[in-house]
Structure 1
Amino acid sequence: MTSTTLYDRCAQDAAASVITAYSTSFALACRLLGPRVRTQVRSIYALVRVADEIVDGAAEDAGVPRSTQRLLLDEFEAETLTAIDRGFSTNLIVHAFALAARECGIDGELVRPFFASMRTDLTRTEHDARSHDDYVYGSAEVVGLMCLQVFVNAGRATPIAPIPDLVAGARRLGAAFQDVNFLRDRADDEGRLGRDYLRIDGGAARVEVLARIDGDLDVAAQAIPRLPADCRRAVTAAHGLFAELARRLREDDRDDVRVSVPTPVKAAIAAKAIAGRPPRRSAL
């Protein structure tokens, strides 16, 4: 084993450890991915997780001032873009991401909007419709597009562009995931972080958000069967989990309770995906 191979493996193992520690649901979905794409997807989400900790979690808990959080985020973005060009980083999580990016055609057009949205969390507390859409594109849709680049290109000698239907599906699925999380986390976002992403003033506005989520999930459901076979089960399981969360959010509108999916229900959703059941469509 060469030094490069060992270093690459250590970086990818570090990324996998981040995902396992932070999200049992995502770790489960990753296990449903084929080995061709599993490592690269973990590497993408590990980078996303670390960036989120700079603006929302560990950095703030450590007493890092907002101005320094901004500096850390800027440095993290610069190191990520440099590593994609260079093919190496001393930061193991960045190095793992750069390996995936270089193989699968992920470039600054997807990386920069992501960091722009993360930067917004340091400067903006309330969003209107336009700023919400811009934020969701950078924080979630481009992450879906990064994963799509992996699904289409992992193992290829030269990356190709995904077909438009898959691009639309990836974007809409990312948007649905983000809006579901906004609804689930409203109390924490507003109470602890002082942020309002949705500006929900009453029940009608909440219904509109849930209808938008259903529409996004339905578009994504139509695209999932066109994904490579070794990706469909995992994406179907993730789709099913968030469809279930949306259903539970519709039934329970209390902001002081974070809606979740019980483990047996998660297992049933995963089992249906493994069995090849198609993604669930909205009943609305």
Structure 2
Amino acid sequence: MSDTPTGLALYNKTAQDAAAAVIAAYSTSFALACRLLGRRVRPHVRNIYALVRVADEIVDGPASDAGLDAASERKVLDELENDVLAAIDSGFSANLVVHAFAVSARECGIGADLVNPFFSSMRTDTLRTEHDTASHNAYVYGSAEVVGLMCLQAFVNAGRSHPVAPDATLADGARRLGAAFQEVNFLRDEQDDRARLGRDYLDLAAQPEARLAVIDRIDADLAAAAAAIPLLPADCRRAVTAAHDLFAELSRRLRRTSTDGARVRVPDHLKLLLAARAWAGFAPTRTDGPEPARSEVVS
């Protein structure tokens, strides 16, 4: 008997291959971190991030380049959100990225409580260009913290017959890691966001002295997330450690870099070193100073 999938199994595999292709095309760093995940979890995280990337592209340029105005972008987002929720309910979508996400959502217990805030934040990008504290926090929750929670659902529930709620400490760590990722990217993309998209997520144009406080907040979130990583299932810890350490390195570079320079990056050789360190089982690097602290190996 042939092991080649047919029917829905073939469609599921094709959808997940499409999601993997989206991730490979848009983020070499994320694709590298995904390879550190166990096979149980890896396709689900790719499926989640592929949907996130497609939604991002609706509001971050390509849709506008195609001629869509803000109202049209919101309409596309509404249609995508409705398709996602319908696919979670039915188990099928004609959109391969949505179908892949729905496969993971149904297995791992990702529902409207996480999907709706995400799309709400995406719509915010079409409605406002500046943020106060309340709108900033709501945006970060929907655009980043819930993505961390979606991934946590996969970490905890992939392969289970019935999803369970993650531990509260893990949930807090997932939210704070997502927030740190987002705010690092706000700082890295600050000039481009303002010049190309007309957005100011951190209100640093009016108060540039607040930049250090943002970096302090990032480091506090990274430290809290690092404390939760040892509680993750073993087949997830290496990948999350590698991602954590990459953003900890970005935070260190942001702390010692002026706002006038090029976009802060981590060289490829250092990315590989951080991934190798995570693969070897070292604990996440500390974020309480400009240099990484010596860490112990964890199982």
Give TM-score scaled by structure 1 length. Answer: 0.98
* Aligned partners of 1:180 and 1:245 also within 8 Å: yes
Equivalent residue in structure 1 for 2:48, among 44, 47, 63: 44
Equivalent residue in structure 2 for 1:272, among 272, 277, 281: 277
Q: Give the number of equivalent residue pairs.
A: 284
Structure 2 residue aligned with 1:211:
216
Query: How far is 1:282 from its partner?
Result: 1.5
Do residues 193 (structure 1) and 226 (structure 2) align? no
Structure 1 residue aligned with 2:262:
257
Aligned positions of 1:12-31 closer than 5 A: 12-31=16-35
Structure 2 residue aligned with 1:242:
247
Determine helix, strand or coil for the equivalent of 1:192: helix
Partner Cα separation in structure 2 for residue 13 and residue 31 of structure 1: 14
- Structure 1, residues 52-106: CA drift from partner, whole Å, max 9, x if none? 1111121111121211111101000000000000000000000000000000000
Equivalent residue in structure 1 for 2:96, among 87, 92, 99: 92
Structure 1 or 2: larger helix share? 1
Partner Cα separation in structure 2 for residue 206 and residue 253 of structure 1: 10
Structure 1 residue aligned with 2:60:
56
Structure 2 residue aligned with 1:150:
154
Determine helix, strand or coil for the equivalent of 2:224: helix
Query: How far is 1:256 from its partner?
Result: 4.5
Partner Cα separation in structure 2 for residue 219 and residue 255 of structure 1: 30
Partner Cα separation in structure 1 for residue 260 and residue 214 of structure 2: 15
Runs of 4+ displaced beyond 4 Å: none
Ranges in structure 2 where 5+ consecutive residues have no aligned partner: 290-299
Do residues 141 (structure 1) and 145 (structure 2) align? yes
Ranges in structure 1 where 5+ consecutive residues have no aligned partner: none
- Structure 1, residues 88-128: CA drift from partner, whole Å, max 9, x if none? 00000000000000000000000000000000000010001
Determine helix, strand or coil for the equivalent of 1:9: helix
Determine helix, strand or coil for the equivalent of 1:119: helix
Do residues 231 (structure 1) and 236 (structure 2) align? yes
Query: How far is 1:202 from its partner?
Result: 4.3
Structure 1 residue aligned with 2:69:
65
**Quick one: structure 1 residues 107 and 10, their matched pair in 2 at CA, closer, same or farther if it must change by over 3 Å?**
same
- Structure 1, residues 184-238: CA drift from partner, whole Å, max 9, x if none? 0001100000000001144530110000000000000000000000000000000
* Aligned partners of 1:44 and 1:100 also within 8 Å: yes
Give TM-score scaled by structure 2 length. Answer: 0.94
- Structure 1, residues 32-57: CA drift from partner, whole Å, max 9, x if none? 00000000000000000000111112
Equivalent residue in structure 2 for 1:166, among 162, 167, 170: 170
Partner Cα separation in structure 2 for residue 80 and residue 38 of structure 1: 20
Note the aligned Cα RMSD (angstroms): 0.9
Report the AA paired with residue 225 of structure 2: A
Deviates more, 1:78-87 or 1:245-254: 245-254
